[in-house]
């Protein structure tokens, strides 16, 4: 069985269009086991009950941004080792450096292409 068939991914983004674009890109890679959340708090609640291998999160979200979500994940016993990929339109040095300090595995700049997203995912989980 291929890795893409076993991989469980959560996509967290407050914009339904962005969630859809990321989910479509994952589907085009053959990744079907995808759950979504519209914000950090609901993502955390879902992940406590049903962990995933990788979280793909937007940076700019109201209430809890992507780095705050990452910090919360790394602080939780069940979620501390989950892969984390940040997707952001603001890939400035401060965000990336802070993300790396918090344990971010990789990032992708918006707008992204499916091939770039695939490479970023494979750098975390291995070849799909």
32 is in which domain, residue-wise? 3-125
- At 2 the pLDDT is 82
Q: Count the domains in the chain.
A: 1
Query: Does the pTM exceed 0.75?
Result: yes
> Taking 80 as the threshold, does the pLDDT of residue 1 lie above it?
no
Q: What is the pLDDT of residues 12-51, one digit of tens each?
A: 999 999 999 999 999 999 999 999 999 999 999 999 899 9
Q: What CATH number corresponds to the domain at position 73?
A: 3.40.50.2300
Identify the band that residue 3 occupies on the pLDDT scale cut at 50, 70 and 90: confident
Q: Give the separation between CA 114 and CA 95, rounded to whole angstroms.
A: 22
Q: Give the separation between CA 82 and CA 9, rounded to whole angstroms.
A: 10
Structure tokens at 67: 């780095």
Q: What is the pLDDT of residues 41-57, one digit of tens each?
A: 999 999 989 999 999 99
Identify the band that residue 91 occupies on the pLDDT scale cut at 50, 70 and 90: confident
> Taking 80 as the threshold, does the pLDDT of residue 76 lie above it?
yes
């Amino acid at each position: 069985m291929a890795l893409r068939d076993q991989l469980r991914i959560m996509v967290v983004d407050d914009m339904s269009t962005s969630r859809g674009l990321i989910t479509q890109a994952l589907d085009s890679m053959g990744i079907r086991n995808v759950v979504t959340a519209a914000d950090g708090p609901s993502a955390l609640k879902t992940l406590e009950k049903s962990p995933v291998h990788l979280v793909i999160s937007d940076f700019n979200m109201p209430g809890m941004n992507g780095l705050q979500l990452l910090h919360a994940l790394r602080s939780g016993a069940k979620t501390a080792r989950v892969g984390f990929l940040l997707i952001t339109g603001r890939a400035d040095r401060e965000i990336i450096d802070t993300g790396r300090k918090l344990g971010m595995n990789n990032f992708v700049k918006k707008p992204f292409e499916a091939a770039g997203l695939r490479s970023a995912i494979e750098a975390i989980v291995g070849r799909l």
